[in-house]
Amino acid sequence: MPTPKITPKNPAFDFTKYRPFEFAPHLPDRTWCDKRIEKAPIWASVDLRDGNQALIDPMTIEQKLKFFKLLVAVGFKEIEIGFPSAAQVEFDFTRLLIEGGHVPDDVTLQVLVQAREHLIERTFESLKGAKRAIVHVYNSTSRVQRDKVYQLDKDGIKAIAVGGATLLRDIAKRYPETEWIFQYSPESFSQTETDFAVEVCQAVCDVWRPQDGQKVILNLPATVEASTPNLYADQIEYFCRHLPSRKDVIVSLHTHNDRGCGVAASELGVMAGADRVEGTLLGNGERTGNMDILTMAMNLYTQGVDPELDLSQVSEIVQVATDCTNLPVHPRHAYVGELVFTAFSGSHQDAIKKSLDYNEKHPETEQHWDVAYLPIDPVHIGRSYQDVVRINSQSGKGGAAYILQRHYGFDLPRWTQIDFAKVVQNQAESLARELKTDELLDIFTKTYLTQETFKLSDYQINNRGGDVSFNGQIATPTDVLEIIGQGNGALSAFIDGLVKATGKDIHVTNYSEHAINTKATESLLDDELGDNQTNSAAAAYVQLNVAGKVYSGIGVCSSTVSAMLKGVLSALSQSW
């Protein structure tokens, strides 16, 4: 691989062209930083509007309907479905949902519209017959928009907001069969002087009069994320404190991800007093995206807070979302990426294995999830434990041991783990890629269980008052050895016979055994068990010191003694 060329620093990369964020209010007595989120906010999905407008190829009506049904199934009660006055396809989709009976009684449609009369009239037409709907009107209020886009002063901008609010109020009266909820956004709130944002929103409330029963949502967008999340939280807390109509309105957030902190900003904004959060599944949206509702909801879940969304089958949610948007999901995307519950690091794998083993042995003390490197149990969101540990050249002893234990029932003692880890690492390095689970089992089998160097023939073990004798034969590639030995047990008698037959200095340094379920390793054990098929067999782990060097072996058989003897020969074959 050629060495990449590093070009000289681009002189256009000039940080002096930027200035620190200047729109944060003075709030020395802020209270949000001492709070916790103890209840899920009202969630509002904008996948079908914000998310859709950010796609290279916008969704078809069929894809939007499929996505809408997904959002309903997940549990969203407020769904912004589009901008029906902006395009015929958006208008037609709105009519399809209403006339086709696709909107459950407990779900509220939301639509977006600019503060212009003909657009507002068209929007209400699209919603005719809806049981309940949110009409979301907006206009930009930031200094840069006032000065350079609209070229209006603050009074001119406020007049646009008041005019739009008045139109909504008056036109809604033509459709009394629908329960109307009005929503106003001072677009680019994050780059608006907070006092002015309060002034504009209160002027809108003066038109809508929420104190008289008209439901009102004030949505405060970080249209461009321009500050750290704590400063956005200051803006939200200041707004909530100073808005005269605060007790009569729902304060909503709509954060973007330009600085990569959209989720954090919404979390702190809720702590600062907001009631509602708009976002998209997986964070799709303009530029770097909208706030990822799935991530924020799962963050609540990990803290023992009911997210009030059903994310138990997250892989299915991701599949539908990617099918409809044609956008891939990064393998490291929080909670849903292919690799987020996967450990390649040896130390991580070892810690996961030990944590899970501990929890299995102490179920009475483990009432809450507490496993190293796993913030949640993957099973809770429809993922499998096979996702947790995967093997490459960076993996340690714990990873391979975990897979062999979870998938095949082999509980390798530490000294066997160390020995096998070296074999696995060498294989992964030679292939220069990750090893699959079946490949790992194949390596394990060839290394320990199917060695051809020694074959045990018929044998007899006699025990006379604690004096054990062994008499049998083993076949080598070139000879048949008579094994005759004595000891205080079958193992020591067999070793004694091997020492005499081979002339080698052989000592057992470690030994371990356990029962193994043949169902977990049925195909693997067929040859080992022959006609003696039972529900369980024995796995024996033997570590030998042969002429000063240490070797590990494993034997499997329906008989514990035969498994032990095979384990000895497996280890001995490593030295031959």
Residue 415 within a domain: yes
Nearest to 266 by CA among 247, 246, 280, 248: 280
Q: What is the DSSP secondary-structure string of 315-368?
A: HHHHHHHHHHH-----TTSTTTSTTTT-B-SHHHHHHHHHHHHHHHH-TTT--S
Is 333 annotated among the ligand-binding residues?
Answer: no
- The alpha carbon dihedral of 392, 395, 397, 399 has a sign of negative
- Confidence grade of residue 531 (pLDDT, cut at 50, 70, 90): very low
How many domains in the chain?
3
Q: Is 118 annotated as a binding residue?
A: no
Identify whether residues 255 and 292 lie together within a single domain.
yes
Grouping H, G, I as helix, E, B as strand and the rest as coil, residue 274 is coil
Q: What is the DSSP string of 507-551?
A: EEEEEEEEEEETTTTHHHHHHHHTT---SEEEEEEEEEEETTEEE
Among 518, 515, 568, residue whose Cα is nearest residue 544: 568
pLDDT digits (tens, 9 = 90+) for 310-364: 999 998 999 999 999 999 999 899 999 888 887 767 678 778 878 888 888 888 8
**Residue 427 sits in the same domain as residue 465:** no
pLDDT at 178 over 90: yes
Q: Which carries the bigger pLDDT value, residue 337 or residue 163?
A: 163
Together in a domain, 132 and 209:
yes
Which candidate, 119, 120, 213, 136, places its Cα nearest to that of 175? 120
pTM over 0.85: no
**pLDDT tens-digit readout, 82-114:** 999 999 999 999 999 999 999 999 999 999 999
284 and 398 co-located in one domain: no
For residue 350, the model assigns a pLDDT of 78
User: Last residue of a domain, which of 374, 400, 435?
Assistant: 435
pLDDT for 241-284, tens place per residue? 999 999 999 999 999 999 999 999 999 999 999 999 999 999 99
Task: Give the pLDDT mean for 401-414.
Answer: 84
Whether residue 141 is found in the same domain as residue 87: yes
> Does some domain include residue 124?
yes
Q: What is the CATH number of the domain that holds 145?
A: 3.20.20.70
Residue 330 marked ligand-binding = no
Q: Helices (DSSP H) in 432-475: which residue ranges?
A: 437-444
CATH number for the domain harbouring residue 528: 3.30.160.270
In a domain, 446, yes or no: no
240 and 197 together in one domain:
yes
* Residues 135, 136, 137: CA angle, nearest 5 degrees: 115
| pLDDT-derived band at 389, boundaries 50, 70, 90 | low
Is pLDDT at 527 greater than 60 in this prediction? no
What is the side-by-side order of every strand in the sheet holding 480-487? 455-464, 467-475, 480-487
Measured CA to CA, the distance from residue 132 to residue 391 in angstroms comes to: 53
Any domain includes 31: no
Mean predicted confidence (pLDDT) in 389-415: 73
Long-range contacts of the stretch 72-76 (C-beta < 8 A, 24+): 72/104, 72/107, 73/310, 74/281, 74/309, 74/310, 74/311, 74/317, 75/43, 75/308, 75/309, 75/310, 76/43, 76/44, 76/45, 76/107, 76/309
Containing structural domain, residue 568: 455-575
Residue 60 belongs to a domain: yes
> Is residue 491 assigned to a domain?
yes
- Listed residues 402, 435, 468: the one ending a domain: 435
What pLDDT digit, counting tens, does each position of 458-514 carry? 899 998 877 899 999 998 888 899 999 999 999 999 999 999 999 999 999 999 999
| pLDDT in the model for residue 426 | 84
Q: Do 320 and 209 fall into the same domain?
A: yes
State how far the alpha carbon of 513 is from the alpha carbons of 275, 405, 439, 556, in Å: 58, 14, 24, 10
* One-character DSSP codes across 545-575: EETTEEEEEEEEESSHHHHHHHHHHHHHHHH
Asked if residue 278 and residue 154 are part of one domain, the reply reads yes
In a shared domain, residues 559 and 461: yes
In a domain, 131, yes or no: yes
Please give the mean pLDDT across all residues of the chain.
90
Measured distance CA(344)–CA(385) in Å, rounded: 14
Residues above pLDDT 70, as percent of the chain: 94
Given a contact cutoff of 8 angstroms between Cβ atoms, the answer to whether 317 and 84 are in contact is: no
Q: Are residues 124 and 213 in the same domain?
A: yes
- Both 108 and 221 in a single domain? yes
| Residue 136 marked in a binding site | no
End-to-end CA distance of the chain: 40
Q: Tell me: pLDDT of 568 over 70.
A: yes
Q: Is residue 287 part of a domain?
A: yes
Tell me the C-alpha distance between 466 and 464, whole Å: 6
| CB atoms closer than 10 angstroms to residue 344 | 18
3-state secondary structure of 244: coil
What percentage of the chain carries pLDDT values higher than 90? 69
Same domain, 356 and 299: no
Final residue of a structural domain among 405, 435, 465: 435
